[in-house]
Amino acid sequence: MKFEDLGLSKKVLAAVEASGYKEPTAIQAQAIPEVLNKRDVMGIAQTGTGKTASFVLPMLSLLERGRARARMPRTLILEPTRELAAQVEENFKRYGQNHKLTVALLIGGVSFEEQLKKLDRGADVLIATPGRLLDHFERGKLLMTGVDILVIDEADRMLDMGFIPDIERIAKLVPFTRQTLFFSATMPPEIERLSGQFLQNPVQIEAAPPSTASATIDQRAVGVPIEDYEKRAVLRELINGADNLKNAIVFCNRKVDVSNLWRSLERHGFSAGALHGDMDQTSRMATLDAFRSNKITILVASDVAARGLDIPDVSHIFNFDVPVTAEDYVHRIGRTGRAGRNGSAFMLVSPADRKGFHAIEKLIGETIEWDGDEVEWDDKAGKRRRSTKSGKDEKSGSGRSSRKSQSSRNRKADREIEEPVGESTMDIAPADFDAQSLVEAEGTDRTKSRKPKKGAGKSRRSSSDNREVGILEPVDASHPFGGEENIPAFLR
Ligand code: AMP
């Protein structure tokens, strides 16, 4: 199949050629002709399949007819995060280089002024996160009655982030006769129900069977003890020993772990950055740019921040934690092995992770091979750890014996410097925060001052317990809207 056979306009074909694409990916070959025929599309596609171009290219062709009017966008694309929205804008710039179309990006965390100017001029394409879009609408700056094409991208992510009521509201504000393109990597029942609500007689297109991982990814499980400082030691060992590691994303379930791990890696001399949904937009973009341009090698990230990001050619994924939901595993490892490349995905699995691990194997329909000894399951290990004072007398789970001894060697260094950070209520530092200088400046004094005083055990334990309640909250659940800026105005 060639791009020329799909019915795209000459201008679009020229831009595709300039991008260096030889042939359409499976989802592009299937979706593009249907979109051009004005059919509703339900696309089940993992990230990395060329999904974005499957809707951007035909939209550009369709937009060649007609003109934008002030405050009345002609097409609307909804994305769950600002990064994804910015990425789709990039796609419009790249593939729309031969068009004179106005693309407006309505995302939170940046000023309304520029966005308003673009809306006033008339936008052909509006790319928005739901919260900021509704904000503009409620301020009376936007009319959605001219929208011919509505794209709902990453629908399962929208669901996770609590955006579905917003999406339902937005769908009522655009004309009933619009064309709708609906994309999701996974198809939980709720998403199936919504697609029935939003789409009319859609063609269903599957780029890969739902919830499967790309065959180009080598997946491994690594047995680890339960304590984070021990997991960090194993992670360092894995990174140092990885074959052909060009760059890596390390996923954590909790915000505080993103922060701690990033600092720990920096302290151990790795080139690392952190990406987290609560960081301000400028820092997030700066970290991502640094990672994309290879200024940093390792990106420590939460699911919210990293979902769907197009970072071509990531060689390794490390799951520092077994993800909270099995679907997240598919998304996480989908950051590597993209567009036919090879990738490696390691997951640290502790004795307490039996349920999560088996849920993943069930979802992907594959057995994940163990790198080293299989972990010895102990369902109560997590609970015991939380009720243990400081983990000093914690029983280690199984793992590779060499890693265990490595862990013990690193244990002291980790705990002395990192434990105070782990107990900090500060969620994450800005991307340019210098962890090394903090350690150097505060060093042992800081560590000492944080050590519990004799006799202070009781009160200390109770405050630590309180903190843990917050710390243990999964990232996704911490803010149903994925950040303040995404809360619809009517709920603020
Ligand atoms: P996406 O799934 O939309 O995030 O795209 C994943 C990556 O594949 C992006 O870096 C695209 O630039 C790239 N890509 C999209 N379509 C093609 C194609 N037909 N051939 C090669 N690469 C592509």
Length of the chain measured in residues: 492
Please give the share of the chain, as a percent, with pLDDT higher than 90.
52
Taking the CA atoms of residue 137, residue 141, residue 147 and residue 153 in that order, the dihedral angle to the nearest 10 degrees is: -50
pLDDT digits (tens, 9 = 90+) for 432-444: 333 333 222 222 2
Which residue owns the Cα nearest ligand 1 atom 5?
50
Ligand 1 centre and the CA of 461: distance in Å? Answer: 51
**Is a pLDDT exceeding 60 seen at residue 382?**
yes
Q: Which of 227-231, 407-411, 465-469 has the lowest mean pLDDT?
A: 465-469
pLDDT in tens, 259-304: 999 999 999 999 999 998 778 778 888 898 899 899 999 999 998 6
Ligand 1, residue 87: give the atom nearest the CA. 4
CA distances to 13, 113, 225, 424, 438 from 99, rounded to whole Å, are 12, 25, 56, 51, 50
Angle between helices 435-450 and 255-267 (to 10 degrees): 110
Residue 413 has pLDDT above 70, yes or no: no
Confidence of residue 306 (pLDDT cuts 50, 70, 90): low
User: How high is the pLDDT of residue 143?
Assistant: 94
Q: What angle do CA 262, 266, 270 make, to 5 degrees?
A: 105
Cα 121 to ligand 1 centre (Å): 31
In order of their start, the domains of the chain are 3-206 (3.40.50.300), 217-379 (3.40.50.300), 418-491 (no CATH)
Q: Are 212 and 298 in contact (CB under 8 A)?
A: no
Confidence at residue 255, expressed as pLDDT on a 0 to 100 scale: 85
Residue in the structure block whose two tokens are 């105005």: 489
Mutate to test the pocket of ligand 1, among 52, 59, 127 (most ligand atoms within 8 A of CB): 52
- Which residue's alpha carbon is nearest to atom 17 within ligand 1? 50
Task: Tell me the CA–centroid distance for residue 24 and ligand 1, in Å.
Answer: 9
Which residue, judged by its Cα, is nearest atom 14 of ligand 1?
50
Residues with Cβ within 8 Å of 64's Cβ and at least 6 positions away in sequence, in order, are 9, 11, 99
Q: Which residues line ligand 1 (CB under 6 A)?
A: 21, 24-25, 28, 47-53, 310, 312, 338-339
Closest C-alpha to ligand 1, atom 15: 50
78 alpha carbon – ligand 1 mean position (Å): 19
State the distance from the centre of ligand 1 to the C-alpha of 48, rounded, in angstroms. Answer: 6
Give the pLDDT of residue 386: 65
Relative to the CA of 22, which ligand 1 atom is closest?
20
- Contacts of residue 224, defined as CB under 8 A and 6 or more positions apart, other chains included, come to 230, 231, 234, 348, 349, 350, 375, 397, 399, 403
pLDDT, tens digit, 9 for 90 and up, residues 90-141: 999 999 999 999 999 999 888 888 899 989 999 999 999 999 999 999 999 8
* Distance between Cα 115 and ligand 1 center (Å): 28
Position in ligand 1 atom list of the atom nearest CA 94: 12
Q: What is residue 318's predicted lDDT score, i.e. its pLDDT? A: 97
CA proximity to 283, closest of 475, 94, 427, 157 = 427
Task: Answer whether residue 456 shows pLDDT above 80.
Answer: no
Helix (H) or strand (E) holding 53: helix 51-63
Residue 453 in this model has a pLDDT that exceeds 80: no
